[in-house]
Amino acid sequence: MIPFSKGELVPNWKQKYDLKEAIKEMGKVQVGYKIKSDKKTNNFSVDIMHISLNSKDIDKIYAFLQSLEGEKPKIEYLQLPTSSIKTARPNEK
């Protein structure tokens, strides 16, 4: 649910949510997939399974998230130079 205040056109993102409420909301929008295949006909089907979290599930996810410690590591990605028509291909020397 987007936190709109009465008469606002822009959501109020400063509103704070309880982590358990956020987990409950995520459970409502997440889905799982089950893929079935038929080897005889070489066909497959995909079933969408909605996930429903009970209070025990929410408590377990909450406990897991609370157990996480430390700082998020900084990940630096290699920036490759721009290639051109003259750039050597990987198998060329």
Residue 47 resides in a domain: yes
Residue 12 resides in a domain: no
**36: containing domain:** 19-66
The gap from C-alpha 39 to its chain's centroid, in whole angstroms, comes to 32
Segment 1-29 shows an average pLDDT of 68
Q: Which two tokens stand for residue 2?
A: 């987007």
Q: What's the domain count of the chain?
A: 1
Under 8 Å between Cβ of 61 and 22: no
Under 8 Å between Cβ of 27 and 55: no
In tens, the pLDDT along 25-82 reads 888 777 777 788 888 888 888 888 777 889 999 999 999 999 988 888 899 988 888 8
Residue 27 resides in a domain: yes
Residue 37 resides in a domain: yes
